[in-house]
């Protein structure tokens, strides 16, 4: 029956442990038991090496005059003891006693050998159960020829790796079985190996060398080896009893520590939450302060709204005043027209006296020139005055837009946009009406121009009076459109007033309101400039009219030289002079209105500047409120940080609880493993005792056989 391999014996041991898959007893754990088991088995049944077909192991030679027989390194390889020593094999009583020293044998002879004699030794060595050769290439060749007695051999044509100790080695042409006594490394396919026994025959270069696994165990001992390996491995598990018990104690201690840390974490979480409450209390105080600042903002915005409203009231006066000024200017034109008519009648009467009329006509021509200059100046002044309503309207629109945006910021942007859209529509409608008024004004100017051309002529039918009437009618229509446009502007003002209620909350809207205030200031400054220009033109017209009065007085001197017809003419001239005086009065009235409009514009400007100051104060309070809100946010962040720290501490506590549970679970598992280790220990102890009994029986049997042979 063939010997089992190392792997087969190891598998047999695993089966005896009911662990075929080596889940509990790793193969490395079983490997550690093999050397001890082989040593124990070898003490009962050693490996008795026989040299070839001989019964002895090795032949040694004595040294003359010495009882000591030295053993070589190879002899001592796996050496246990020497079973028998035969001295002078062919002599009677060749068996001799000896004393076994470490590395040497002392012959039990009466006299030391006088010469060299052969001594045959029967050696007992440890059994071999080799696991691996060390290389996959098991065939090589002799690299260097070997002589009889050599204890090393150079082998070539190998693969890679090593040639492990215990490897069985045979050489072609030599029947002796050799063994490798130490691990040899293969370098460049060559290895030098130490062997035992020494070479028994010459080996030639290129002789084939074969490597093989060695198992010296008798077949009947292989099961005992497997059982003893299993028993010792099982007993070794008992060490785990203490290890697992200690680990269980450690795990319980870890659990206790973790539970203690849970309490610390919870305490820290409570402290963090308390810190969070302190920060929250600070936030409330900061928000109260911020609310006070916001209340100040509301008060400043209320003041700004009041100032803007007051400014709007002053601005609303300007269109009326400017309209009155325009009416007065229109009356001036009518009076001048009437004066022209009277002068024409006077010229008709003056025609009766040719010489006087010619002289007076020269003066009247001067009056006409001055009146023409006055009309041009009045027209220019009216042009400048006509600019004022639009500019003031733009200023009022800008001011209304400011109120709308400020109110919009306080309440709702959406309703402000709606109100502004309504205001824009009304302004568009007002623009439409004013656009309709412009052609009518143009018609009036055209009519005045046409009438002016007929002032110095005697009309056959339809003279300057008809043109003046047509101009007055056109101006009346224009005024109607202007009144309608003013109604739309008032509607737009109402819409913008509604929009004002939505402007307080948005700082951006306040900034836009400031821009609109600046725009209103620019428009009012432009209106002031236009009104100043208008006043200049009216003053020029007044000077021209006065010049005309001077010329008229000169003409009156000529008329006094005339006849009664001239006196009648003088009556007409006096009527014309009265009309011019009334026109001058109207011019002064218009100038007064313009001055009032300027005063109202200045008052409006002051109120707007006050509103700007209030809004800037509101901005300052807003910035302070933002600072408080920033601090509140910081406190909120701190509070959030403390709450997060508390949450982290609670989570850490939960993890520690889980860790404690895991440690307790682990201790339970380790306790069960401890119990399992006790079971293995009990089985291994019984099995090891059984094997020992069988070994003792084997020892007695071997000893009995030895006594029978003797």
What's residue 73's pLDDT? 92
Q: How many Cβ atoms sit within 10 Å of the Cβ of residue 88?
A: 15
- If one compares 668 and 659, the residue with the highest pLDDT of the two is 659
- Residue 213 per-residue DSSP state: -
What's residue 709's pLDDT? 46
C-alpha 452/C-alpha 95 separation (Å) is 176
Classified as helix, coil or strand, 515 is: helix
- If one compares 76 and 623, the residue with the highest pLDDT of the two is 76
pLDDT tens string 33-47: 999 999 999 998 999
Once rounded to an integer, what is the mean pLDDT over residues 276-303?
76
Domain boundaries, the chain: 46-126, 139-217, 288-457+477-640
State both tokens at 529: 């400039």
State both tokens at 354: 């040719």
What's residue 318's pLDDT? 73
Calculate Rg over the CA atoms of the chain. Answer: 68
Once rounded to an integer, what is the mean pLDDT over residues 683-703?
78
State both tokens at 171: 């050489």
- If one compares 481 and 444, the residue with the highest pLDDT of the two is 481
What's residue 309's pLDDT? 81
Q: How many Cβ atoms sit within 10 Å of the Cβ of residue 654?
A: 12
| Nearest in space to 652 (alpha carbons), one of 276, 268, 273, 277 | 268
- If one compares 704 and 283, the residue with the highest pLDDT of the two is 283
Once rounded to an integer, what is the mean pLDDT over residues 556-565?
69
- If one compares 211 and 330, the residue with the highest pLDDT of the two is 211
pLDDT tens string 607-649: 778 877 877 887 787 788 788 777 767 877 777 777 687 777 7
C-alpha 162/C-alpha 283 separation (Å) is 79
Please tell me the class of the 139-217 domain. Answer: mainly beta
C-alpha 542/C-alpha 378 separation (Å) is 9
Q: In sequence order, what are the beta bridge partners of 192?
A: 154
452 confidence band (pLDDT: 50, 70, 90): low
132 confidence band (pLDDT: 50, 70, 90): very high
Indicate whether 396 pLDDT > 50: yes
Indicate whether 420 pLDDT > 80: no
Furthest-apart CA atoms within the chain: distance in Å? 211
What's residue 229's pLDDT? 93
Angle between the N-to-C axes of helices 564-709 and 507-560, in degrees from 0 to 180, rounded to the nearest 10: 170
C-alpha 100/C-alpha 96 separation (Å) is 12
Contacts of 99 (CB under 8 A, 6+ apart): 105, 106, 108
C-alpha 211/C-alpha 164 separation (Å) is 10
573 burial type by CB count under 10 A (0-12 exposed, 13-18 middle, 19+ buried): buried
pLDDT tens string 183-212: 999 999 999 999 999 999 999 999 999 999
Percent of all residues in the chain with a pLDDT value above 70, rounded to a whole number: 76
What's residue 89's pLDDT? 63
697 burial type by CB count under 10 A (0-12 exposed, 13-18 middle, 19+ buried): exposed
What's residue 360's pLDDT? 62
* Distances in whole angstroms, Cα of residue 544 to Cα of each of 161, 301, 370, 633, 667: 132, 51, 5, 74, 122
Least confident of 6-10, 39-43, 132-136, 298-302: 298-302
Q: How many Cβ atoms sit within 10 Å of the Cβ of residue 143?
A: 20
Please check whether residue 96 is in contact with residue 45, taking contact to mean a CB–CB distance below 8 angstroms.
no
State both tokens at 527: 């209106």
- If one compares 555 and 622, the residue with the highest pLDDT of the two is 622
What's residue 710's pLDDT? 46
Once rounded to an integer, what is the mean pLDDT over residues 402-406?
67
What's residue 181's pLDDT? 96
Indicate whether 507 pLDDT > 90: no
Once rounded to an integer, what is the mean pLDDT over residues 566-586?
74
Secondary structure percentages of the chain, helix, strand, coil, to 5 = 70, 10, 20
Once rounded to an integer, what is the mean pLDDT over residues 130-146?
95
Contacts of 54 (CB under 8 A, 6+ apart): none
What's residue 687's pLDDT? 82
C-alpha 79/C-alpha 568 separation (Å) is 177
Please check whether residue 319 is in contact with residue 390, taking contact to mean a CB–CB distance below 8 angstroms.
no
What's residue 326's pLDDT? 72
pLDDT tens string 238-283: 666 556 656 666 766 676 676 667 677 668 767 877 777 777 777 7
pLDDT tens string 352-373: 755 765 776 677 678 668 767 8
Q: In sequence order, what are the beta bridge partners of 184?
A: 163
Please check whether residue 169 is in contact with residue 214, taking contact to mean a CB–CB distance below 8 angstroms.
no
Angle formed at CA 72 by CA 66 and CA 76, multiple of 5 degrees: 115
What is the DSSP track for 596-610? HHHHHHHHHHHHHHH
Classified as helix, coil or strand, 353 is: coil
Q: What is the mean pLDDT of the chain?
A: 79
What's residue 667's pLDDT? 58
Once rounded to an integer, what is the mean pLDDT over residues 167-193?
96
Indicate whether 513 pLDDT > 60: yes
């Amino acid at each position: 029956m063939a010997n089992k391999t190392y792997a087969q014996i190891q598998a047999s041991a695993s089966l005896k442990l009911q662990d075929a898959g080596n889940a509990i007893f790793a193969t490395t754990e079983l490997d550690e038991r093999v050397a001890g088991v082989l040593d124990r088995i070898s003490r009962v049944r050693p490996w008795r090496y026989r040299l070839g077909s001989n019964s002895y192991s090795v032949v040694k030679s004595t040294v003359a005059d010495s009882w000591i027989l030295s053993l070589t390194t190879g002899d001592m390889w796996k050496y246990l003891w020497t079973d028998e020593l035969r001295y002078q094999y062919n002599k009677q009583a060749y068996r001799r006693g000896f004393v076994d020293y470490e590395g040497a044998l002392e012959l039990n002879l009466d006299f030391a050998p006088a010469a060299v004699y052969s001594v045959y030794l029967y050696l007992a060595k440890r059994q071999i159960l080799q696991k691996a050769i060390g290389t996959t290439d098991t065939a090589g060749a002799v690299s260097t020829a070997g002589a009889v007695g050599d204890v090393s051999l150079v082998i070539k044509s190998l693969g890679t790796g090593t040639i492990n100790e215990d490897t069985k080695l045979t050489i072609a042409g030599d029947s002796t079985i050799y063994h490798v006594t130490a691990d040899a490394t293969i370098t460049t396919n060559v290895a030098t190996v130490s062997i035992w026994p020494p070479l028994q025959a010459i080996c030639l270069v290129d002789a084939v060398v074969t490597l093989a696994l060695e198992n010296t165990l008798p077949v009947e001992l292989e099961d005992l080896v497997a059982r003893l390996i299993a028993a010792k491995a099982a007993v070794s598990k008992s060490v785990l009893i203490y290890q697992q018990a200690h680990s269980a104690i450690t795990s319980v201690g870890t659990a206790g520590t973790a539970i203690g840390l849970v309490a610390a974490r919870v305490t820290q979480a409570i402290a963090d939450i308390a810190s969070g409450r302190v920060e929250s209390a600070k936030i409330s105080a900061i928000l109260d302060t911020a609310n006070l600042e916001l209340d100040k903002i509301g008060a400043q915005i209320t003041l700004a709204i009041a100032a803007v409203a007051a400014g709007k009231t002053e601005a609303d006066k300007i269109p009326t005043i400017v309209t009155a000024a325009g009416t007065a200017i229109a009356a001036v034109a009518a009076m001048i027209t009437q004066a022209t008519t009277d002068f024409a009648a006077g010229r008709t009467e003056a025609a009766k006296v040719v010489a006087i009329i010619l002289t007076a006509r020269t003066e009247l021509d001067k009056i006409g020139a001055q009146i023409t200059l006055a009309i041009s100046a009045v027209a220019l002044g009216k042009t400048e005055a006509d600019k004022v309503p639009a500019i003031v309207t733009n200023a009022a629109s800008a001011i209304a837009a400011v109120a709308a945006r400020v109110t919009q910021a306080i309440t709702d942007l959406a309703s402000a946009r709606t109100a502004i859209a309504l205001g824009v529509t009304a302004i568009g409608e007002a623009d439409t009406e004013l656009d309709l008024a412009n052609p009518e004004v143009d018609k009036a100017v055209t009519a005045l121009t046409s009438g002016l051309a007929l002032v110095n002529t005697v009309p056959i039918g339809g003279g300057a009076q008809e043109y003046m009437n047509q101009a007055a009618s056109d101006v009346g229509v224009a005024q109607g459109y202007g009144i309608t446009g003013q109604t739309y502007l008032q509607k737009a003002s109402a819409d913008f007033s509604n929009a004002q209620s939505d402007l307080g909350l948005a700082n951006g809207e306040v900034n836009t309101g400031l821009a609109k205030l600046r725009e209103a200031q620019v428009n009012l400054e432009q209106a002031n400039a236009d009104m100043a220009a208008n006043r200049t033109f009216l003053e020029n017209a007044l000077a021209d009219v006065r010049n005309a009065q001077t010329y008229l007085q000169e003409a009156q001197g000529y008329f006094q030289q005339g006849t009664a017809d001239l006196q009648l003419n003088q009556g007409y001239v006096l009527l014309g002079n009265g009309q011019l005086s009334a026109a001058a009065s109207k011019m002064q009235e218009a100038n007064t209105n313009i001055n009032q409009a300027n005063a109202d514009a200045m008052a409006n400007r002051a109120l707007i500047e006050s509103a700007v100051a209030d809004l800037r104060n509101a901005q300052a309070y807003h910035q302070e409120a933002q600072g408080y809100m920033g601090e509140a946010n910081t406190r909120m962040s701190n509070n959030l940080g403390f709450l997060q720290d508390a949450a982290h501490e609670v989570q850490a506590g939960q993890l520690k609880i889980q860790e404690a549970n895991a440690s307790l679970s682990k201790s339970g598992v380790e306790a069960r493993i401890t119990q399992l280790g006790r079971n293995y220990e009990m089985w291994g102890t019984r099995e090891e005792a059984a094997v020992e009994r069988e070994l003792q029986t084997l020892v007695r049997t071997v000893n009995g056989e030895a006594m029978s042979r003797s």
